[in-house]
């Protein structure tokens, strides 16, 4: 009997009438057949083009041989998240659970999964072609700071010894690679294509040269300079970049141009099952919480520069046509598990559906790495907002007796919403429960400048506007701020600015997230170099674990059960000013 899922072993492949596999895709996550995953999108696009694809999820070393050697290549997409982030906390403690696995249990995800999986594949098939893609590979394509070993590491192709790295429009790259290899063309025939990175013995011509890996190791300022050049070349018209590593060269081609509307329709009209494979007997937390009634609305992220999605999927917005989003909503409404509420349309990017461009051609030469505000730049003038089109889409999805409401259960994208009063009105009245979360990072301008974030004036202005509008619309909506502790630039002096603003404005801290320097993000470069990446000014960076933990405790001052311990540590460190602020706040609660 033919299986509707992507085969996970040869028995399932044979049910489809397949005697061999062209491409084996390897991921450390449990297999959920949902377009949120790059691995699944890539597999479905390949299958629809006539290729035979198998998927190996959460593999042991032996599992990697279950399909035998594929006719074309192995594609290693280690998972939706970085393997080191999934395995270790901000304090480098081993995590006890994994939301991407059945039952949320720890499983086979190795440290530095791209390196380990490639090595394990080679142990079975020495001459197999191994291609890296996805988050872990894309964010390590040049010299990068590795928080867990506290040092710079070489581009991941050197450490993994894989044959090729694909980034940006991964679905398109997979298909192009498969077609080339099916035509008996070697992978070297793709070396001039966008979204491709490879190792060369010869120094490239007519490309932008980065400081060498060895020079970066010797000089932190040199590493910052390398990163600045790297960011400036994240565009469609770049000649490409290369970096010398020992006696060879890491070559990275330019980005792809944005997907066309037809390409987006093709990617998202595949026969996704939108559920976990039936092999899993326990619920998978990420599916239950995020994916079961969620809808992917775009590929790319032009806003969140300190998350590494802009390195994996690109900074350009590739939006799905609204017809496809509406079709997905109809499918979800028919599910038995649907409880009349959509909670994850856009997965944290719901408001970005209103973003449009005056002229997409202008984006091709853009040297900016984000379209929105940073410490030194305002929002790109090429961006406009179509608020009514966005609101009409949500109204269309809501036009059914089976839909009670559409909520945004993630954090507010305030840099978008601040410019869209109609969206604020729609959000307050219809899209949030009694509380909303806003990712604030820090309220200290010194900290925000160090991390190339816009001044706190915009954030504070939005908070004031949101609270005022809630009252005007007759809605009692609380706004909870999400803060990051131990950001570069954060000290026991700057944290007082955040405390003061929160206390003076009677805000609630909804969550405190300990900072993790993700590879090749602005924050990780500042953390390692202790330099502002544009002004080269010195930045205070707290790296002592105990001091980091204390900063987290300080920002969690509203938790009554932990306040006694906080005051003890503040007295011990003689941080009397902060202690007085906490005690004053405590007295105000009585």
- Integer Cα distance of 240 and 550 in angstroms: 44
CB atoms within 10 A of CB 428: 19
The neighbouring-strand residues paired with 251 are 198, 242
Task: Return d(Cα 172, Cα 195) in angstroms, integer.
Answer: 9
Residues 36, 80: contact at Cβ < 8 Å?
yes
> How much is the pLDDT for 425?
92
pLDDT value of residue 352: 86
List phi, psi (to 5°) of 536: 65, 15
**CATH top-level class of 10-198:** alpha beta
Do 364 and 235 touch, CB atoms closer than 8 A? yes
The whole-angstrom distance between residue 261's C-alpha and the CA centroid of its chain comes to 23
The confidence score (pLDDT) of residue 308 equals 62
* pTM for the full predicted model: 0.94
Pair 329, 406: CB distance under 8 Å = no
Q: What are phi and psi of 344, to 5 degrees?
A: -140, 55
Residues 6+ apart with CB under 8 A from 532: 449, 450, 452, 526, 538, 539
* pLDDT value, residue 1: 45
pLDDT the model gives residue 146: 97
Please state the domain extents for the chain. 10-198, 434-590
Kindly give the confidence (pLDDT) of every residue in the chain, 590 residues in length, as a single tens digit, with 9 standing for 90 and above: 456 899 999 999 999 999 999 999 999 999 999 999 999 999 999 999 999 999 999 999 999 999 999 999 999 999 999 999 999 999 999 999 999 999 999 999 999 999 999 999 999 999 999 999 999 999 999 999 999 999 999 999 999 999 999 998 999 999 999 999 998 888 888 899 999 999 999 999 999 999 999 999 999 999 999 999 999 998 888 999 999 999 999 999 999 888 999 999 999 999 999 999 999 999 999 999 889 888 999 888 776 655 566 677 777 788 899 999 999 999 888 887 788 888 888 877 788 889 998 888 888 778 787 888 888 888 889 999 999 999 999 999 988 777 888 877 678 888 889 999 999 998 888 887 767 889 999 999 999 999 999 999 999 999 999 999 988 988 877 789 999 999 999 999 999 999 999 999 999 999 999 999 999 999 999 999 999 999 999 999 999 999 999 999 999 999 999 999 999 999 999 999 999 999 999 999 87
Residue 243's SS3 state is strand
* Helix 220-232 with 522-529: angle, nearest 10 deg: 170
Provide the pairing of β-strand 411-412 with 435-441.
parallel
Whether 130 and 122 have beta carbons less than 8 Å apart is answered as yes
Count of helix runs (H) and strand runs (E) in the chain: 23, 23
The topology under which CATH files domain 434-590 is Transcription Regulator spoIIAA (3.30.750)
Residue of 34, 28, 25 lying closest to 5 (CA atoms)? 34
The 8 Å CB, 24+ separation contacts for 541-545 are: 541/488, 541/489, 542/486, 542/490, 542/491, 545/91, 545/92
Residue 305 confidence (pLDDT): 55
- Between the alpha carbon of residue 432 and those of residues 59, 200, 379, 403, the distances in Å are 39, 52, 26, 15
SS in 3 state form for 45-76?
A: HHHHCCCCEEEEECCCCHHHHCCCCCCCEEEE
CA distance from start to end of the chain: 68
Query: In the prediction, which pLDDT does 307 show?
Result: 57
List of residues 6+ apart from 463 with CB closer than 8 A: 438, 479, 481, 505, 507
Look at residue 343 in the predicted model and tell me its pLDDT. 80
> What are the backbone angles phi and psi of residue 446, rounded to the nearest 5°?
-65, -45
**35 phi and psi angles, rounded to 5 deg:** -70, 0
A 10 A CB-CB count for 423 gives 24
CA distance 582 to 564: 11
């Amino acid at each position: 009997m033919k299986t509707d899922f992507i085969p996970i072993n040869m028995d399932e492949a044979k049910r489809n009438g397949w005697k061999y596999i062209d491409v084996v895709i390897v991921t450390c996550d449990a297999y959920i057949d949902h377009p949120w995953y790059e691995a699944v999108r890539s597999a479905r696009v390949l299958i629809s083009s006539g290729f035979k694809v198998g998927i190996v999820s959460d593999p042991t070393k032996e599992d990697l041989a279950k399909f035998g050697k594929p006719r074309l290549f192995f594609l290693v997409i280690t998972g939706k998240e970085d393997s080191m982030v999934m395995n270790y906390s901000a304090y480098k403690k081993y995590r006890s659970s994994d939301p991407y696995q059945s039952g949320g249990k720890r499983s086979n995800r190795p440290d530095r999964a791209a390196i380990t999986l490639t090595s394990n594949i080679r142990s079975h098939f020495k001459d197999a072609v191994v291609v890296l893609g996805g988050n872990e590979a894309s964010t390590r394509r040049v010299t990068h700071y590795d928080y867990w070993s506290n040092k710079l590491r070489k581009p991941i192709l050197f450490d993994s010894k894989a044959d090729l790295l694909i980034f940006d429009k991964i679905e398109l790259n997979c298909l192009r690679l498969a077609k080339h290899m099916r035509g008996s063309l070697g992978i070297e025939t793709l070396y001039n294509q966008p979204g491709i990175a490879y190792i060369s013995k010869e120094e490239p011509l007519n490309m932008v040269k980065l400081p060498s890996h060895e020079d970066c190791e010797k000089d932190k300022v040199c590493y910052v300079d390398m990163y600045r050049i790297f960011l400036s070349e994240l565009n469609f018209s770049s000649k490409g970049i290369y970096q010398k590593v020992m006696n060879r060269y890491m070559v990275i081609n330019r980005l792809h141009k944005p997907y066309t509307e037809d390409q987006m329709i093709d990617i998202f009209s595949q026969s996704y099952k939108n559920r976990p494979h039936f092999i899993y007997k326990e619920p998978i937390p990420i599916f239950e919480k995020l994916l079961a009634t969620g809808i992917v609305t775009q590929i790319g992220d032009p806003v969140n520069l300190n998350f590494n999605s802009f390195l994996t999927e690109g900074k350009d917005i590739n939006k799905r046509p609204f017809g496809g989003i509406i079709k997905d909503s109809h499918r979800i409404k028919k599910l038995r598990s649907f409880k009349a509420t959509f909670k994850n349309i856009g997965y944290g990017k719901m408001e970005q559906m209103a973003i449009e461009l005056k002229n997409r051609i202008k984006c091709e030469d853009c040297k900016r790495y984000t379209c929105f505000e940073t410490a030194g730049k305002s929002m790109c003038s090429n961006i406009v907002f179509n608020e009514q089109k966005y609101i009409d889409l949500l109204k269309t999805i809501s036009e059914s007796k089976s839909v009670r409401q559409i909520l945004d259960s993630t954090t507010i994208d305030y840099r978008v919403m601040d410019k869209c009063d109609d969206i604020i009105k729609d959000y307050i009245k219809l899209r949030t429960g009694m509380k909303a979360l806003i990712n604030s990072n820090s309220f200290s301008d010194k900290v925000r400048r160090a991390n190339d974030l816009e001044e706190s004036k915009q954030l504070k202005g939005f908070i004031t506007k949101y609270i005022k509008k809630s009252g005007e619309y007759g809605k009692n909506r609380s706004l909870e701020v999400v803060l990051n502790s131990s950001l570069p630039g954060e000290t026991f002096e700057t944290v007082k600015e955040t405390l003061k603003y929160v206390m003076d404005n009677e805000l609630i801290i909804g969550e405190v997230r300990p900072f993790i320097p993700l590879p090749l993000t602005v924050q990780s470069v500042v953390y390692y170099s202790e330099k502002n990446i544009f002004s080269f000014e010195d930045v205070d960076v707290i790296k002592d674990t105990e001091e980091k933990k204390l900063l987290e405790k300080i920002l969690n001052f509203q938790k009554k059960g932990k306040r006694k311990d906080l005051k003890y540590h503040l007295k011990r460190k003689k941080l009397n000013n902060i202690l007085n602020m906490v005690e004053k706040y405590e007295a105000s609660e009585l």
